[in-house]
Amino acid sequence: MESAGYRGKKVKRDVFNSYGMLIVAAQTVLTDEHLDLIRNHRIDITTVAIMTDSEEEGIACKQEVQKAVRASKEMFDSIRHTRKIPVMQMRNEILPLVREVTEHTNVFQLLEAVKATDEYTYQHNIGVGILSTMIGKWLNLGETELAVLSLAATLHDVGKMQVPLDILNKPDKLTQEEFAVIKQHTVFGYNLLKDTPGLNHRTALVALQHHERLDGKGYPFGITDNKIDLFSRIVAVADIFHAMSSKRPYHNALPFHAVISQMRKGIFGALDSSITSLFLDNIVKKMVGEQVVLTDGTMGEVVMLNPFDIEKPLIKANEGFIDLSKESDLRIQSICM
C-alpha cells in the first residue's frame, strides 16, 4: 500500500522518530500532513501499526460503555444522597447509550467492553443493563417491553445505594452479618422504585426479584417458578454472567469456560433454563473465527463448533488442529480482543 493508501487510517501505537521524538500519537487519524511528517522523518510507513476496522469498533464500544458508566456513577451517587430516581436523566442520557452498545455486531467485543475492572458497582449496573437488553432482543421482545427491560435492568441494584459503603466496597469476603445487610438491597430497591412516578411496576419487581431462583432457594422471599417475573429471570442471568466475568473487590474474573460451564450446571442457583441456554448458546455459536487462548496458554482460532458439545470446538493452532472434545484437560481460557 502506497502512503496515500494510509490516509484516513487510525494509528494503533505512538510513532517515534530515530531520536525518540513523538511524531504521531496513537489513535490519530492519518491526514496528508501526518503522512508528510512521517516521510520527512524517514520513517517507513509500512512499519506504522494501523488499527483494523474490528479494533476500531472494539475501542468505540468500550468508549461508549465508559461514557455510560460515568453517567451511571453520577446518577447513582445522586440517588445515594437524595433517595430520588432521576427518571428523565435515565431515559435521555443513560438508556440511549445502553441501547447503542447492544447494536455492536461483535458480541465478544461487547462482552469485553462491559467487564468490570474497577468501581464494580457502577460498571455492573451498566453491564447488566446491556446484557439484559441483548437477551431481550434475542427473545424478540417488542420495543415497549425492551425499553422497560433496559431501564429495569440498569436499575436492578439501585437498592445498594442504601447499603453502607464500607460493606459495599469491602475488599475481603463478607461476614454473614454483612451479607445479610447486602441482601436487603432487593427490598430497598423495590421500595425506592415502586413510589417513583413514571416507572413501570416491573422495574420495581426486577429490583426485588433478581436474586430469586426457580427452586425457591433465592432471596428475599424464596419464591418459585412462575411467581418470578420474566424480566427478573432475564436480569438474573445477565447479573450472574457479568459478576462471574468481572473482577470484583473480593473475587477475580473467572475464565470463559468456567463461567459458561458453571452457569449451565446451575452452580449459582436455579435460573430459567430456556433464557440461560439462549444466552449462552448465542455467545458460544459466535466463537467461530475468533482468536482464543486455551488454559495451557496456546493461542489459536476457533474454526468449527462440535454439534454435540458446542463449548468444545475445533481450534486451529501451531499449524495443526486441537479438538477440545478430545482433550479433557484443555478449555478456552479467554477470547482475544
Q: If DSSP codes are grouped into helix, strand and coil, which group holds residue 336? A: coil
Stretch 217-227: mean pLDDT: 93
Going by pLDDT thresholds of 50, 70 and 90, the confidence category of residue 74 is: very high
List the Cα angle 242/333/121 in 5-degree steps: 20
Integer angstrom CA distances of residue 95 from 101, 143, 153, 164, 336: 10, 13, 10, 27, 28
Is the distance from CB of 291 to CB of 301 less than 8 angstroms? Answer: yes
Instruction: Pick 1 or 119 by higher pLDDT.
Output: 119
Alpha-carbon torsion, ordered 199, 87, 221, 215, to 10 deg: 80
Going by pLDDT thresholds of 50, 70 and 90, the confidence category of residue 314 is: very high
Q: If DSSP codes are grouped into helix, strand and coil, which group holds residue 34? A: helix
Instruction: Pick 106 or 153 by higher pLDDT.
Output: 153
Is the pLDDT assigned to residue 201 strictly greater than 80? yes
- What is the CA 321 to chain-centroid distance, rounded? 30
Q: Look at residue 227 in the predicted model and tell me its pLDDT.
A: 93
Is the pLDDT assigned to residue 205 strictly greater than 80? yes
In terms of Cα–Cα distance, which of 92, 101, 174 is closest to 131?
Answer: 101
Q: What is the pLDDT of residues 80-118, one digit of tens each?
A: 999 999 999 899 999 999 999 898 878 888 888 888 777
Q: What is the pLDDT of residues 261-299, one digit of tens each?
A: 889 888 667 899 999 999 999 999 999 999 999 999 999
Q: Look at residue 268 in the predicted model and tell me its pLDDT.
A: 66
Q: Look at residue 2 in the predicted model and tell me its pLDDT.
A: 65
Taking the C-alpha atoms of residue 335 and residue 337, their distance in angstroms, rounded to an integer, is 6
Is the pLDDT assigned to residue 53 strictly greater than 80? no
**Residue 227 DSSP label:** G
